[in-house]
Structure 1
Amino acid sequence: MAVCLLKSPAYGQSATPNESLLVKAYELVRSNPDEAVKIGQYLLKNNPSDTQKTKFYLLLAESYWAKGDYNNSVINVFEAGKFADGAKEEEKIKILLLKSQLFRAIYLDNQSKRCLEDAAAKISELKSKEDQNFFEAKILIGNSGMYLDRQNYQKAFELLQKADKKYEPAFSKNALLRQEFYITKARALVGLAKIDSANYYLAKAQKLTKNQKNFDFLNEIALLNELSAVYFHEKQHTRAIDTLLVSMKMATQLKNEALLKVINKQLGINYLALNDKKNYQLFDNKFLKAYDTVEESEQDAVNSAYNLISQEQEADFQKAKTRYADYFYVAVGVLFFVLVAGFLLWLKNYLKKKRLKEIISYLEIRTNNPVRLQPEKRETHKKIAIPAETEQVILAKLKRFENSTRFTNKEMSLAVLAGQFDTNTKYLSEIINKHYQDNFNTYINKLRITFIIGKLKEDPNYMHYKISYLAEKSGFSSHSSFATVFKSITGIAPGTFIDLLKEETEALKQEKVNSHAV
């Protein structure tokens, strides 16, 4: 989860009671968002002006964001936008930045980018150079976060690398912004496996924590999570676990399920690396529980976002209708709205179909060997000399193995398969690495995922089975391991894949009905 977007508003000594409460609320947003929500709701009950409503709804949106409640955050940030006509440009930019962050969190990337572009266009209207520099840095971090969330670490790093000196004036005025920049850059470096460099920026971010007047839980959690990722790379799993437990304590205080999902997953992975199966199962179960909660919350937020975008477009249309009495312009406005709405609907369906087709195509390219696709990156290792005749015999056995369903056996392992092939594990492992560019586990997992997707496509009944049954059918020991592997190979969760496959099947049926009708 990304760090917080908004900076607390500043008021002079003549601040009204409401403004003083607003300042107090912003001090609580990153440590006690529930209390900040109560203050925001109280402020809205006192007949505030439209300008004040913008600030108060923005406070609520920021507080719900800190709680990981995307749906309520979306609703309140759009409410803030409704009253923003008379607000300062700074407030309008804050709304756009928070919208961008929310859209990115619920995978509406196009809308997220558009908000960042709109925010960038408004920067020139700010009177203060300091504010211009601050928001330019926020937009840069937002764009970098987009690339990081989609695992394009190199692009994110290139953007951040150019920013150190350019935004130094903004960093010198705002320690939280500097810390956010360091954490974001460290995240890119961890993704690029440049661990020493990542450690350098995380150490700088840690120093800034000590000087903070108001503790920022979101920044601190992001910092601790990246530190744990570094420790994982360094195989300091016990240290990574200790760090994640501190992070979990803060995320629990925020009641942020989205953060807890990430933290529980990382704890499970570290315990697995220590071969502590009991704790791995404990945190894996917590991860799955949080995953379901967050997925439901994200879907609610997506539905709210689409409804509110439509309402916003309708409101814009009504303003245009009032502004222009000429029926020609009204007609043009209606046509434009219809075209935009139609295009958004078409684009949504097109992207769904495209995504499904890409996944299906990925799994159907199996002329020679279905498990050669997307080999995992592996470290260079010393090759073992294998007699050519032996190598060909093992390859032939692998081909027959792939055409069977023996890989769905839960007990299948490198040692078991080597025994069945009358060879040793070193020969078998070397040949799989050489010819499939995968280790044994990845090789088996790809066979299993290819197998179950084939079943889903061939037999419609499979689309109605529980995920746990599909996991067992394809040879996985648990629902969670199946879901994790499925998503790592296809790019989406199994439930989402099945939903898309159902939509595609229904669409094909409808096309056949229509063609027969014609």
Structure 2
Amino acid sequence: MKPCRLYTCWIILVALCLWKSPVYGQSMAPNESLLGKAYELVHSNPEEAVKIGQYLLKNNPSDIQKAKFYLLLAESYWAKGDYNNSVINVFEAGKFADKAGDDEKIKILLLKSQLFRTLYLDNQSKRCLEEATEKISGLKSKEEQGYFEAKILIGNSVMYLDRQNYQSAFELLQKADKIYQPAFSKNASLQQEFYVAKARAFVGLTKIDSANYYLAKALKLSKTQKNSDYLNEIALLNELGLVYFHEKQHARAIDTLLVSMRMASTLKNEALLKVINKQLGINYLALNDKKNYQLFDNKFLKTYDNVEESEQDAVNSAYNLISQEQESDFQKAKSRYADYFYLAVGALIFVLIMGLLLWLKNYLKKKRLKEIISYLEIKTNNVVKLQPEKRETNKKISIPLETEQVILTKLKRFENSIRYTNKEMSLAVLAGQFDTNTKYLSEIINKHYQDNFNTYINKLRITFIIGKLKEDPNYMHYKISYLAEKSGFSSHSSFATVFKSITGIAPGTFIDLLKEETEALKQEKMNSHAS
């Protein structure tokens, strides 16, 4: 006992020195190595482990560290048999578990399951084991997965053993022997726990020889352990005492149980002392030693009352904390679903707005194209189909009416041909072809078309190329320079300039819009045929 306390004091002294060190404050606060040292004391000197845990919590730990430190306290109180404080601290650890790793979450759930099982809250215990099983897949290490799977299976088997369902426990442990042998071979403490559980099953099934076999294996393993694990040792010694009782080796059982009692006294674990006192009393009674029977029976009754009161406090705390945890989970779920709802509504509004904008953009494009096409059709009618108006104007040149009619007839035939696409076409050339003079021709074009000769020719050329684009889809894929040459313009740039001045948009933009309109018409036809 004293060496353990001296060792603990030394640890705390070193921690205080490190805490005051600037280097420690930057890189090691709070001291993770101190946590490891504290865990070495949990199953041999839990009272000192509690002091270290409380000290670590005072140093402004992170949330992840809080989960670890509260778990340390919970396990230390469990080793002391103080179930109420163990329950309180394991639930505190659970509050910070979200930010901890999956291994810490599983450890918290396993301890909760162990506590609930001890307090006969079997449904809650099973749920914790189920949650722990779900989290195992998140572990990266196969070795860790195997270890925790074995711990969960042993936990389930111990629940059967505590409820005296020995056959179910035995069947479960038989499976573990084959499946989790690699995990057992790497962890002597886990294997010892397994051997003792299997021995308990055999004792319950009254197969004492088989129980002796596994207890002997557990004893052999316990001698190889470097750190003292009084909880495992007490479980082993108590089971040995029970076997000796069945074999009527009562003196040997008493010696074994007295060793177990010394360990339980060191832990100050009244729950274990209750069990040991009861077994000692029964063995003394079997030897007809009434004095010692009365002594240990009185000790049993005293510890029984204390343990009952402690367990009742723990059950009340457990129910209160479970209710708080469920309320917290409900609020978190409510908040989460509210977030999802607002996100969904926001996404829906966004989709609707984007859909409306796309529809509006498409609608405006179509509208613009229709307006352009309508505009061009009007221009075409003005250039090609419009009958020359006869109206009185202030004539600059006097042209005989008969000559005027002849020239208008020739202009009509000229418009119905494609001679205007000739690059060499000019006022003089056309006047020569019409057997008239340039003044007469220019005056008649100005009078009846309200344009000069160049504008008149350019409109004919643009109308011609637009007709080609609308009638022959291949034209939409030709280069602008080809369209310029085809319609009679001497260059790409002059064609583009004239085209935009007449239509209001560049030739490339017009072709793109025309393509969209063509595709839309095709789609409409396909839909109408399908319906």
The two structures have a TM-score, normalised by structure 2, of 0.58
Q: Quick one: higher RCO (CA 8 Å, sep 6+), 1 or 2?
A: 1
1:52 aligns with 2:65: yes
TM-aligned CA deviation for residue 314 of structure 1: 1.1
Q: Please give the per-residue CA displacement for 1:186-235, whole angstroms capped at 9, x wherever unaligned.
A: 01111111111101100100111111110100000000000000100000
TM-aligned CA deviation for residue 324 of structure 1: 3.1
1:62 aligns with 2:75: yes
8 Å CA contact retained: 2:30, 2:61: no
Identity %: 86
Correspondent of 1:322 among 335, 346, 351? 335
For 1:327 and 1:130, how far apart are their aligned partners in 2? Answer: 37
Alignment match, 2:209: 196
Give the helix-richer structure, 1 or 2.
Answer: 2
How is 1:82-231 mapped onto 2 (pairs within 5 angstroms)?
82-231=95-244
For 1:276 and 1:180, how far apart are their aligned partners in 2? Answer: 33
Q: Which amino acid aligns with 1:22?
A: L
For 1:209 and 1:146, how far apart are their aligned partners in 2? Answer: 23
TM-aligned CA deviation for residue 316 of structure 1: 1.0
1:270 aligns with 2:283: yes
For 1:179 and 1:326, how far apart are their aligned partners in 2? Answer: 49
Alignment match, 2:441: none
Alignment match, 1:334: none
8 Å CA contact retained: 2:45, 2:267: yes
For 2:193 and 2:187, how far apart are their aligned partners in 1? Answer: 10
Q: Which amino acid aligns with 1:160?
A: L
For 1:224 and 1:326, how far apart are their aligned partners in 2? Answer: 55
Q: What is the DSSP-based 3-state SS (H/G/I as helix, E as strand, rest coil) of the residue aligned with 1:235?
A: coil
Correspondent of 1:301 among 310, 314, 326? 314
Q: Which amino acid aligns with 1:185?
A: K
Q: What is the DSSP-based 3-state SS (H/G/I as helix, E as strand, rest coil) of the residue aligned with 1:189?
A: helix
Query: Structure 1 segments of 4 or more deviating over 4 A?
Result: 14-17, 326-329
How is 1:88-487 mapped onto 2 (pairs within 5 angstroms)?
88-325=101-338
8 Å CA contact retained: 2:30, 2:59: no
CA separation of 1:327 and 1:197: change in aligned 2, threshold 3 A = closer
For 1:327 and 1:211, how far apart are their aligned partners in 2? Answer: 55
For 2:138 and 2:30, how far apart are their aligned partners in 1? Answer: 30
Q: Please give the per-residue CA displacement for 1:234-278, whole angstroms capped at 9, x wherever unaligned.
A: 000000000000000000000000000000000000001011111
8 Å CA contact retained: 2:113, 2:125: yes
Q: What is the DSSP-based 3-state SS (H/G/I as helix, E as strand, rest coil) of the residue aligned with 2:279?
A: helix
Q: Which amino acid aligns with 1:82?
A: K
Q: What is the DSSP-based 3-state SS (H/G/I as helix, E as strand, rest coil) of the residue aligned with 1:215?
A: coil
Alignment match, 1:480: none
Unaligned runs of 5+ in 1: 1-13, 330-518
TM-aligned CA deviation for residue 76 of structure 1: 0.3
Alignment match, 2:54: 41
For 1:290 and 1:15, how far apart are their aligned partners in 2? Answer: 43
Q: What is the DSSP-based 3-state SS (H/G/I as helix, E as strand, rest coil) of the residue aligned with 1:151?
A: coil
For 1:105 and 1:178, how far apart are their aligned partners in 2? Answer: 22
TM-aligned CA deviation for residue 172 of structure 1: 1.2
CA separation of 1:201 and 1:16: change in aligned 2, threshold 3 A = farther
Unaligned runs of 5+ in 2: 1-26, 343-531
CA separation of 1:15 and 1:166: change in aligned 2, threshold 3 A = farther
Q: Which amino acid aligns with 2:282?
A: I
TM-aligned CA deviation for residue 21 of structure 1: 0.7
For 1:147 and 1:37, how far apart are their aligned partners in 2? Answer: 31
For 1:60 and 1:106, how far apart are their aligned partners in 2? Answer: 19
Alignment match, 2:41: 28
Deviates more, 1:314-323 or 1:163-172: 314-323
For 2:166 and 2:297, how far apart are their aligned partners in 1? Answer: 27
TM-aligned CA deviation for residue 110 of structure 1: 0.6
Deviates more, 1:160-169 or 1:57-66: 160-169
The two structures have a TM-score, normalised by structure 1, of 0.60
Q: Please give the per-residue CA displacement for 1:388-446, whole angstroms capped at 9, x wherever unaligned.
A: xxxxxxxxxxxxxxxxxxxxxxxxxxxxxxxxxxxxxxxxxxxxxxxxxxxxxxxxxxx
The size of the alignment, in residue pairs, is 316
For 1:260 and 1:328, how far apart are their aligned partners in 2? Answer: 56
Alignment match, 2:481: none
Q: What is the DSSP-based 3-state SS (H/G/I as helix, E as strand, rest coil) of the residue aligned with 2:59?
A: coil
For 2:150 and 2:330, how far apart are their aligned partners in 1? Answer: 33
TM-aligned CA deviation for residue 43 of structure 1: 0.2
Q: What is the DSSP-based 3-state SS (H/G/I as helix, E as strand, rest coil) of the residue aligned with 1:300?
A: helix
Deviates more, 1:161-170 or 1:129-138: 161-170
8 Å CA contact retained: 2:30, 2:56: no
Q: Please give the per-residue CA displacement for 1:347-388, whole angstroms capped at 9, x wherever unaligned.
A: xxxxxxxxxxxxxxxxxxxxxxxxxxxxxxxxxxxxxxxxxx
Q: Which amino acid aligns with 1:250?
A: M
For 1:224 and 1:16, how far apart are their aligned partners in 2? Answer: 40
For 1:16 and 1:245, how far apart are their aligned partners in 2? Answer: 43
Larger radius of gyration between Structure 1 and Structure 2: 2
Q: Which amino acid aligns with 1:282?
A: L
Alignment match, 2:438: none
Correspondent of 2:91 among 78, 85, 97? 78
